[in-house]
A and B are shown apart, each in its own frame.
Chain A
Amino acid sequence: MDWVSVDNSLNNPSWYTTGEHHGVFAQMRREDPVHWAVDDEYGLKFWAVTRYDDIVAILNDADRFSSRNTARLLPTSQRITPEDRYEQLLLVTPTAMDNPLHDLYRRPVNKYFSIPFVARLTEQVDAQVEAVLDSVADRDEIDLVEEVAAQVPLRVMLTFLGVPEDDWALLRRLTNQYFLPRDPRFAISDNPKESQLDAIKGLDRYARALMTDRRAAPRDDFATVISQLRIDGDLLSPHEMSTWVTTVIRGGLETTANAASVAMWQFLENPAQRDALLADPGLIDSAIDEILRFATPVRHVLRMAREAVEIGGKRINSGNPVVSYIVSANRDEAHFDDPNRFDITRCPNNYLSFGQGVHACLGRHLARLELTRLIPKFLARSGDLRLVHPGVQPDWTLEVSTTGLAELPVRRIPRADGPASEKVRISAA
């Protein structure tokens, strides 16, 4: 692809639905791994960084690469005003902050997403996974994205937070509208920025009411924890509490669902990989690594250079936007043999999907736990499920910064020895 076309594709959501980007990122890694992109379509000039080692260096150098703007490129390149920052809850969002302020907000929350704390949620996650799989056990046609992959994180995160079941559908819709503002199923305007802002406002309203309730009547849930968090001895303000509530909802519902969707698609396309995991459950950790690498739910992260710095032989000037393409790093031939192959035995597999350093994904252990409990149980029950559209590109979401599937329809094939649904119940027991 010529460079003008490359530059004008990087922020084009349609381009990512073709699957063509993986080949173009390979070209960028080979020919110009730290590339000055002039994206006239989107309206921004920025450094596009595509090699694994350069991206690791940037992620671990928060002193020189600031997160002060936003963690990713927004649907439009319009400058973000102070009013925008307030309305979009960006003022104290840790992903859009630098230190020393960042740690002040993030540190008090870390323990609730630490490995020992998350491990204690295993039983609850198992129960949610079983409930979700049971809900489709009798069905012959299933959309695995909406009915399975999205349901597990929705139930797990909102139960953890303490949101009543009656409100789950509302928060799922608002989260979809936020992450997929161009998808006609969720958009409320032709302008994606408007759809996104409307979604944020809906989430903010919900979060503020939830916090008012928990301040008045504490419970044993994470909403109550947020309502009682203190910084420098003081309780959080309504805006601060809402920022945390909406951050865990947005972070918890979308990316894990996307990783699970892509995993299900790959396992159904590659029955040998499914059989290998079912035959050797000890492969699960390595399988989850590979799912996270292959799916790369967050495609890129944005930083702003704080001073002149050399990366990959190029001089990046102070103030330049720097976009690290995680989706490219995760398929860098220098670190992953045959990178486009889905291989659950891949070792080593130092994927970058959760980022690294100060801004490493807060919910990464919960996401891993959900995938670890969901995928084997799903595969054990998937023997009679077939993709409705095998062997073709799946229905990727119309998005730039996140990877996901809009839907993944499957059909249950009839068994010769009795009704399919009976068979499933028996094999699941």
Chain B
Amino acid sequence: LSKLTFVLPDQSERVIESVPGESIMVVATRAGIPGIIGECGGEMSCATCHVHIDTDEFQPPSLDEQDLLEVVDERAANSRLSCQLKLGDTGDLLIRVPQEG
């Protein structure tokens, strides 16, 4: 089983088991990872599941996702909305949770 390692803004880490078929947002909110809220449930309307992630395991962001990422704090080249990152046969992942604004 692969692992998701969440690095929080204070650099502490939380390790959670990946659940294929679910999004990183769903896995993170169920585990209570601070800073990942997912208020809209994955409809791309709230922008509260922003993460930094370096991997080529996922499809690149859609235009809608890129559009919503324009409003998040701490936007970076590796910014993603974790509701759009559906876990599949993915290996271990390192996910940074940015500081909230």
Contact = CB atoms under 8 A, between A and B. Distances in A.
Contacts of B70: 111
A107 B73 CA distance: 20
Interface stretch (B5-13, B15-23, B42-50, B88-96): B42-50
Where chain A touches its partner, the secondary structure class is helix
B67 A356 contact: no
A408 to B, nearest CB: 31
A114 B43 contact: no
B39 A107 contact: no
A308 interface: no
Interface string A352-373: 0000111010100100000000
Contact of A113 (B45, B48, B64, B67): B45
Interface in A99-148: 103, 106-108, 110-117, 119
Given A107-B44, A110-B44, A360-B45, A115 B39 contact: yes
Contacts of A108: 64, 67
Nearest to A107: B64
Contacts, number: 48
Contacts of B39: 115
Interface residues of A, number: 19
Interface in A63-84: none
Given A114-B46, A365-B46, A119 B68 contact: no
B32 interface: no
A115 B48 contact: yes
Contacts of B64: 103, 107-108
Contacts of A356: 41
Contact of B41 (A114, A115, A357, A362): A357
A103 to B, nearest CB: 8
Given A356-B41, A357-B41, A360-B40, A107 B47 contact: no
A106 B44 CA distance: 10
Contacts of B37: 115
Nearest to A110: B45
Nearest to A356: B41
B71 A114 contact: yes
Contacts of A116: 47-48, 71-73, 101
Contacts of B67: 107-108, 110-111
B39 to A, nearest CB: 7
The list of the 3 closest CB pairs from A to B, nearest first, reads A114-B47, A110-B45, A117-B71
Given A116-B101, A357-B43, 7 more contacts: A103-B64, A111-B67, A114-B48, A115-B39, A115-B46, A116-B47, A119-B101
Interface of A: 103, 106-108, 110-117, 119, 356-358, 360, 362, 365
Interface of B: 37, 39-41, 43-48, 64, 67-68, 70-73, 101
11 contacts: A107-B67, A108-B64, A110-B67, A115-B37, A116-B72, A116-B101, A117-B71, A356-B41, A357-B41, A358-B43, A360-B43
